[in-house]
Structure 1
Amino acid sequence: MIATGTMTRAAEAMSTSQPAISAMIAALEREVGFKLFFRRGSALVPTPEGMAFDAQAQTALLGIERVKRVAVDIRNRRRGGLRVAACSWLGSGYLPELVTSFARAHPGIEIQICPIGSTDVSAALLEETTDIWMLDASASHPLLESEEHVVSCVCVLPQSHPLAESAVLNPDLLRGIAHVAPPRDNPLAAQVEEAFACAGVRLRTTIRAESFATVCSLVSFGLGFGLVDEITARHLKPLGLTIRPFAPTIALTLAAMHRTDRQVSIAARSFLDAHRRLIGAVHAESGQVVAEKIGSVQARAPS
């Protein structure tokens, strides 16, 4: 009534009759306990109380519209928050690429990245604030459901190293060359030591670095070779690294985890979907690079 000015126009706007409008006004006045309109001739004029009530009603309606828009944004992954806890070896390569891809697709979602060690999972669960855990598969908890992907490890060398001509590297080819290693508690360290021991080759470790990213950086300065996950190597290749497959195969298992005792949010499901797509792209690119390198070496081999 206040917006349209007359009962006739109000009835037309609401696709109803004038008697129905009169009945609605009377019912509302009984509910609120005061007059909303008074008659001035044939016109209905809002009372001061009616004007004050209308102002609050308009504010409430705008609030409802805002809530509806927020609901649409959340449903369409344009609003919300996401907290991801990740192990350190993902922080220098894979995770930045994954977060960048996700953030560009969902710019309204605030993402919080928290570094976490395998032994910190239980403590993080007590906070009940994390949505997704990205860890190596050695981490586990009864409240976490895990989706695992194998990540191959590769050998990184300085770009000008003579072994750059080899299609695949192995312990025998790396005999006597300085090894830049991750910390002993890194899940890859024991596998590397076992591979060299089984081949009867002494592993000449000269430096231990805190992360795979630091290993790659030191290797790029010519301090030896490193064995790191293919994700970090792929990301840091522009430092001036030669990347080659390593035999025997050693790998890390990346586990994407979420809690089983609560519903996974829409944002978290989208993040996991982005993770699956990126892992698939990494594996596809890795296979193509290996095939091309082996083909190149075979083409140069004397017949």
Structure 2
Amino acid sequence: MPQDLSHRQLEAFRAVMTRGKVTLAAETLNTTQPTVSRLIADLEAAVGFTLFERRGRSLWPTAEAQSLLEEVERSFVGLGEISRVAADIRDYRCGHLLIAGMPALALRFLPQVIAEFVADQPGVRIALRVHSSAEVLRNVSSQQFDLGFAAVEADHPSVLRRPLAESALEAVLPPAHPLCRNHRLTAEDLQPHRFLALGEEVTTRRDCDIWFAAHGSTPAVVAEAQLSAALVEMAAAGLGVGFVDPVAARLAATDGRVARRPLAPAIPFTYELLQPALRQPSRIASRFLALAQTRLEAVLSD
């Protein structure tokens, strides 16, 4: 009964068959001629039949050797493909990411990061799902998503949660608005002006309400929106002043469609990273996260 074959034996066999001589096979394998001869002898003992006829100092392949070579070549093609895939994984030329993000980051910021990341790693496929922060938490808890970007207040046993960046809400207002003369906006400054509120289902809305109440002020709400992006568009259309997360404010202000101003006192805001707790992050996920964090810090440092 044939014994188990070693990869090294098959390498030696293939090298002798393709190069024609033991000396040349030894050069190919970067080893010695006696080593190749021993590997061939071990292989013959393992398969139970003669692979080469010895004619003086030469080896002549038998018909059985030719038949075996066909299968060995197929195996080596498979190994070559495995090696190629492994190299692609090592060099970030293949793989996939599934990301869930809150709208404040997923509508503009994350697409820009994804575009930059894929430009450097064109073989990587990324899927982005846009959800509320609470839904992002549920997505990541399923262990099917690689990364989640959100602003949540509750923990989940299946999710690792950590601050990604800490900043503060900012006011967005039409570029010609009278309050553009102010370097910072207070609740008193905003009292006589139309205000754009976040929807009551948004956790940040509560922080804004507390901020106004702490200063004995009630904003003149003329409209509200669930998403920062929609609130920015209302401000750009001249409807009033609203508070949004800092990334939404700063990216919108770069277009010149709105102005932005800090609040006094500040309303803290934290972007958080969510990761599945039951599995380790992939190399691609870690690499993407490093880029996203660098770009987020750059936006918030302006």
Q: Same fold (TM over 0.5)?
A: yes
Mapping 1:128-147, distance limit 5 Å:
128-147=143-162
1:98 aligned partner, one-letter code: V
Whether the aligned pair in 1 keeps the contact of 2:141 and 2:276 (CA below 8 Å) is no
Q: Please give the alpha-carbon distance, in whole angstroms, between the structure 2 residues aligned to 1:84 and 1:154.
A: 26
Number of positions where the alignment pairs a residue of Structure 1 with one of Structure 2: 284
Residue equivalent to 1:267: 284
Residue 87 of structure 1 pairs with residue 102 of structure 2: yes
Query: How far 1:230 sits from its partner (Å)?
Result: 1.4
Residue 151 of structure 1 pairs with residue 167 of structure 2: yes
Q: Please give the alpha-carbon distance, in whole angstroms, between the structure 2 residues aligned to 1:272 and 1:279.
A: 10
Q: Secondary structure at the match of 1:3?
A: helix
| Unmatched runs of 5 consecutive residues or more in structure 1 | 286-303
Residue 279 of structure 1 pairs with residue 296 of structure 2: yes
Against the structure 1 CA distance between its residues 157 and 24, is the aligned structure 2 distance closer, same or farther, given a 3 Å change threshold? same
Against the structure 1 CA distance between its residues 9 and 202, is the aligned structure 2 distance closer, same or farther, given a 3 Å change threshold? closer
Residue equivalent to 1:102: 117
Whether the aligned pair in 1 keeps the contact of 2:98 and 2:126 (CA below 8 Å) is yes
Residue equivalent to 1:292: none
Query: How far 1:155 sits from its partner (Å)?
Result: 0.8
Residue equivalent to 1:206: 222
2:132 aligned partner, one-letter code: G
Whether the aligned pair in 1 keeps the contact of 2:140 and 2:148 (CA below 8 Å) is no
Whether the aligned pair in 1 keeps the contact of 2:198 and 2:205 (CA below 8 Å) is yes
Residue equivalent to 1:294: none
Mapping 1:119-134, distance limit 5 Å:
119-120=134-135, 123-125=138-140, 127-134=142-149
Residue equivalent to 1:246: 263
Higher mean C-alpha deviation, range 5-14 or range 132-141: 5-14
Q: Please give the alpha-carbon distance, in whole angstroms, between the structure 2 residues aligned to 1:221 and 1:239.
A: 12
Residue 117 of structure 1 pairs with residue 132 of structure 2: yes
Mapping 1:1-303, distance limit 5 Å:
1-14=16-29, 15-17=31-33, 20-38=35-53, 43-120=58-135, 123-125=138-140, 127-148=142-163, 149-237=165-253, 238=255, 240-285=257-302
Query: How far 1:123 sits from its partner (Å)?
Result: 4.2
Q: Secondary structure at the match of 2:82?
A: helix
Return the TM-score normalized by structure 2.
Answer: 0.82
Against the structure 1 CA distance between its residues 284 and 120, is the aligned structure 2 distance closer, same or farther, given a 3 Å change threshold? closer
Q: Please give the alpha-carbon distance, in whole angstroms, between the structure 2 residues aligned to 1:151 and 1:104.
A: 29
Against the structure 1 CA distance between its residues 35 and 99, is the aligned structure 2 distance closer, same or farther, given a 3 Å change threshold? same
**Percent of paired sites with the same residue:** 30
Deviations 1:121-162 (A, max 9, x none): 564356321111211131421232222122321111111222
Whether the aligned pair in 2 keeps the contact of 1:217 and 1:239 (CA below 8 Å) is no
Q: Secondary structure at the match of 1:188?
A: helix
Higher mean C-alpha deviation, range 67-76 or range 271-280: 67-76
| Unmatched runs of 5 consecutive residues or more in structure 2 | 1-15
Deviations 1:53-99 (A, max 9, x none): 22332332233333334334333433322222212222223322332
Query: How far 1:216 sits from its partner (Å)?
Result: 0.7
Residue equivalent to 1:293: none
Against the structure 1 CA distance between its residues 179 and 281, is the aligned structure 2 distance closer, same or farther, given a 3 Å change threshold? same
Whether the aligned pair in 2 keeps the contact of 1:131 and 1:264 (CA below 8 Å) is yes
Deviations 1:256-303 (A, max 9, x none): 122333222212222222233223212321xxxxxxxxxxxxxxxxxx
Whether the aligned pair in 2 keeps the contact of 1:93 and 1:231 (CA below 8 Å) is no
Q: Secondary structure at the match of 2:125?
A: strand
Deviations 1:173-228 (A, max 9, x none): 22232222222111211111222222222212222223111111121111111111
Residue equivalent to 2:10: none
Whether the aligned pair in 2 keeps the contact of 1:93 and 1:236 (CA below 8 Å) is no
Whether the aligned pair in 2 keeps the contact of 1:121 and 1:139 (CA below 8 Å) is no
Q: Please give the alpha-carbon distance, in whole angstroms, between the structure 2 residues aligned to 1:117 and 1:139.
A: 14
Q: Please give the alpha-carbon distance, in whole angstroms, between the structure 2 residues aligned to 1:146 and 1:123.
A: 12
Q: Please give the alpha-carbon distance, in whole angstroms, between the structure 2 residues aligned to 1:204 and 1:96.
A: 34
